[in-house]
Amino acid sequence: MKKIRFDHCVIRVSNWGLSHSFYRDVLGAEVVPQGEGWAYRFGDTQLNCHGPGLDPKPVAKRPVQPGGSDICFEWPGTVEDAMGHLESHGIHIELGPVNRRAAKGKGRSIYFRDPDGSLLELISYADGGKAAPL
């Protein structure tokens, strides 16, 4: 079987302007038009968005409501740098740093929320999660 890759997932948002500002300014996403709506692109992967004024077809059998997502992003530096970045944007860190295992192995993560309340995680592999055993 040929290797498949993850391309995108879908989140629901309740306010386009707040969402655009957050994902662009805090997480560095490129905000791109996607049909009648928008997507947040991170390199070669993206979050497609369902939001106000859209009636997308097809949708999941039980679509996630705004605030119902849990998404992890890889931070390119140390977790301390990630914490400083979020704090500089006035973002409350809900948990962390904590050691986690993820797609690339051991890392350290911090957790926070987007404007709708979805749980977001920044994981740093910079120190390999060496601060404490997993």
- Sequence ranges of the domains in the chain: 1-62, 69-134
pLDDT score for 30: 98
- Check whether 133 has a pLDDT greater than 80: no
Annotation marks residue 74 as catalytic: no
Report the alpha-carbon distance of residue 108 to residue 124 in Å, rounded.
5
**Tokens 């009636």 found at:** 55
Q: What is the mean pLDDT of the chain?
A: 93
- Res 128 pLDDT > 70: no
Q: How far apart are CA 87 and CA 53, in angstroms?
A: 32
Q: Provide the pLDDT confidence category of residue 63 given band limits of 50, 70 and 90.
A: confident
Q: Do domains 1-62 and 69-134 have the same CATH topology?
A: yes
Q: How is residue 23 annotated by DSSP?
A: I
pLDDT level of residue 76 (50, 70, 90 thresholds): very high
Q: How far apart are CA 15 and CA 13, in angstroms?
A: 6
DSSP 100-132: EEETTEEEEEEEEE-TT--EEEEEE-TTTTTTS
Q: Does the 69-134 domain belong in CATH 3.40.50.300?
A: no
User: Which pLDDT does position 104 carry in this prediction?
Assistant: 93
The pLDDT value given to residue 74: 96
- Which has the closest alpha carbon to 47: 35, 32, 59, 36? 32
pLDDT tier for residue 127 given thresholds of 50, 70 and 90: confident
Are the beta carbons of 47 and 11 closer than 8 angstroms? yes
Q: What is the dihedral of CA 24, 30, 32, 38, to 10 degrees?
A: -40
- Whether 132 has a pLDDT exceeding 60, the answer reads no
Catalytic residue among 36, 74, 87, 121: 121
Residue that wins the pLDDT comparison between 130 and 23: 23
Q: What are phi and psi of 96, to 5 degrees?
A: 125, 170
Q: Which fold has domain 1-62?
A: 2,3-Dihydroxybiphenyl 1,2-Dioxygenase; domain 1 (3.10.180)
pLDDT at 129 over 70: no
Per residue in 7-52, pLDDT (tens digit) is 999 999 999 999 999 999 999 999 999 988 999 999 999 999 999 9
